[in-house]
């Protein structure tokens, strides 16, 4: 997999593929088709961990975006505070 940012649509596409495979596996089971069921089971075993990795990546990307936004706000707050003139201490 490339290291480019993935979209929710791409994740959902992979999730739909996994759902379709599970449905096909259930159909093969009900038809007592051992060969097809074993093939679908292999595909499901391959795809399931990849889907978990994609979900974790999406979550990390979301968290990183919130961290970037927070950092930008803190930087803007510090700049605004530095731009304000300091009032002299009335107790001195």
| Inside any domain, residue 65 | yes
Q: pTM for this structure?
A: 0.70
| Inside any domain, residue 50 | yes
| Inside any domain, residue 87 | no
| Inside any domain, residue 61 | yes
| Inside any domain, residue 48 | yes
Radius of gyration in angstroms for the set of CA atoms belonging to the chain, rounded to a whole number: 26
Q: Maximum distance among all alpha carbons in the chain?
A: 90
Strand, helix or coil for residue 92: coil
Band of residue 89 on the pLDDT scale cut at 50, 70, 90: low
Band of residue 1 on the pLDDT scale cut at 50, 70, 90: very low
Owner of token pair 């994609």: 54
| Inside any domain, residue 15 | yes
How many structural domains does the chain have? Answer: 1
Higher-pLDDT residue of 7 and 4 is 7
pLDDT tens figures, 38-83: 999 999 999 999 999 999 999 999 999 999 999 999 999 999 998 8
| Inside any domain, residue 63 | yes
Domain that holds residue 66: 9-80
| Inside any domain, residue 74 | yes
């Amino acid at each position: 997999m490339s290291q480019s940012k993935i979209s929710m649509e791409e994740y959902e596409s992979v999730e739909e593929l996994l759902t379709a495979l599970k449905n096909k596996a259930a159909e093969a089971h009900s038809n007592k088709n051992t060969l097809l069921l074993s093939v679908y089971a292999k595909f499901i075993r391959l795809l399931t961990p990849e889907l978990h990795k994609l979900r974790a990546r999406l979550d990390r990307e979301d968290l990183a975006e919130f961290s970037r936004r927070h950092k930008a706000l803190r930087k803007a707050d510090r700049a605004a505070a530095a731009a304000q003139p300091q009032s002299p201490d009335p107790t001195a």
